[in-house]
Amino acid sequence: MVNVPRLVIAAPSSGSGKTTVATGLMAAFSERGLAVSPHKVGPDYIDPGYHALAVSPGASVGAGPVGTPGSAARVRPGRNLDAYMCGPGLIGPLFAHGAAGCDLAVVEGVMGLYDGASGQGELASTAQVSKLLRAPVVLVVDASSQSRSVAALVHGFASWDPEVRIGGVILNKVATDRHERLLRDALDESGVPVMGVLRRADGVTAPSRHLGLVPVAERRAEAVGSMRELAARVRAGCDLEALLALARSAPALDVTPWEPAVEPVAPAADAGRPVIAVAGGSAFTFSYAENTELLTAAGADVVPFDPLRDEELPEGTRGLVIGGGFPEVYAPELSANEPLRKAVAELAYSGAPVAAECAGLLYLARSLDGAPMCGVLAADARMSGRLTLGYREAVAVGDSVLAPTGTRVRGHEFHRTVLEPGAGTAPAWGVVHPERRVEGFVQRGVHASYLHTHWAAAPELARRFVERCFVERCTA
């Protein structure tokens, strides 16, 4: 049984202020000395970086991928709860794993409260996750253009699904004292208490660009200052005691915490643990903590490195993982680090296991917006005005270092780049939903694709990758 007090921060729609409120609450409660566990519904990588900063004041957030020893030793990572990629049955266990030993968990929702995977009902919605966690919901409402109508809005959301418990409202972008009185009077009739009011002029914002917020790893010093200001805003505008009491009203959760328990790969005599280098730094900020934890559990030593600054791979590297991020923003700097590009290419040509997702795919290409990259793949990448975004179902169309033929996965795409060609003679995946196509590259030990995957749903991917690292080390 899991008894961690918990809140889900939701909203009627995107842009209402969920990230502001959730992150501010995490920071405010952390400043009071509570151990706060941060979570995010859905596949988003960027918000969890701000969550980690909020609950780990003074820690080295953003130094490397979450879950790696060099970056997470003093940081509680923000963790994702994605019922599409991981399945509803893993939401409770993953939550319990992340929240272990904490005084409070704050879960930031995704989009509107009842919005989920397109065409699949409540799947992957904030509402579904709140029910799976048996957690009360705090609804963040953008009140900037309404007064009495706010009561009808809140009533509609509170009554739509009786299994979703909306325990309070936080009003955002309130203009004046009079505006606040009108809103409070209206909500008195709804039966849902107002637990906070944030004024319109109080805006503490983070800069955005083509894929949303700028990751915290790229603006750490500025983000730390913003976080303090945000915590102060939330302390002043929200009833923290009422919110904590609501969180403590959540009933016990009958789940067993998830563990990165894959059968460790048995090395040959004197082979030791293989080093798997994991790209981090400002250009490669997208990763799930559980992926790294699974690699470690399978028997690898995971070592972060920064392709913007490090001219060599970590000593003894036998495998390489390059996740998502923003290489398009740093293409000139990545290209200028020619020693590392050559080291990556040599490792790939040697047949060592290399797993690359999205940004990693671009980094392995010949070029990105004309700037030379690693040249491992016979493909060129460029920025595009078109956003590619959404969940995918895919199947491995051939054997690779990650998966044998026929392995089925659920993943997510999120980019504004185009790769030409989009697939090699041996593709990484055959996408079967929502459309049918092949994409990505499998060659030697390289598996490179636009598809982001969450290995907690398929721990055999991590074990297979580590196994290939052992093979390479023992036969080199």
Q: HSE (CB half, 13 Å, CA atoms) of 362?
A: 29
In terms of Cα–Cα distance, which of 441, 429, 448 is closest to 354?
448
| DSSP structure class, residue 305 | E
358 is catalytic: yes
Which residues, other chains included, contact 48 with Cβ-Cβ below 8 Å and sequence gap of 6+?
A: 38, 40, 66, 77, 78, 79, 80
Rg (CA), the chain: 23
**Can you give the three-state secondary structure of 311-354, one letter per residue?**
CCCCCCEEEEEECECCCCCCHHHHHHCHHHHHHHHHHHHCCCCE
In terms of Cα–Cα distance, which of 20, 72, 400, 352 is closest to 204?
20
**Helix axis angle, 460-475 relative to 289-297, nearest 10°?**
50
3-class secondary-structure state, position 208: strand
3-class secondary-structure state, position 36: strand
| The two structure tokens encoding residue 150 | 């706010």
| DSSP structure class, residue 238 | B
- Of residues 358, 374, 469, 474, which has the active-site annotation? 358
C-alpha distances in angstroms, 214 versus 37, 249, 400? 22, 35, 33
CB atoms near residue 408 (< 10 Å): 13
CB atoms near residue 399 (< 10 Å): 14
| Residues with catalytic roles | 358
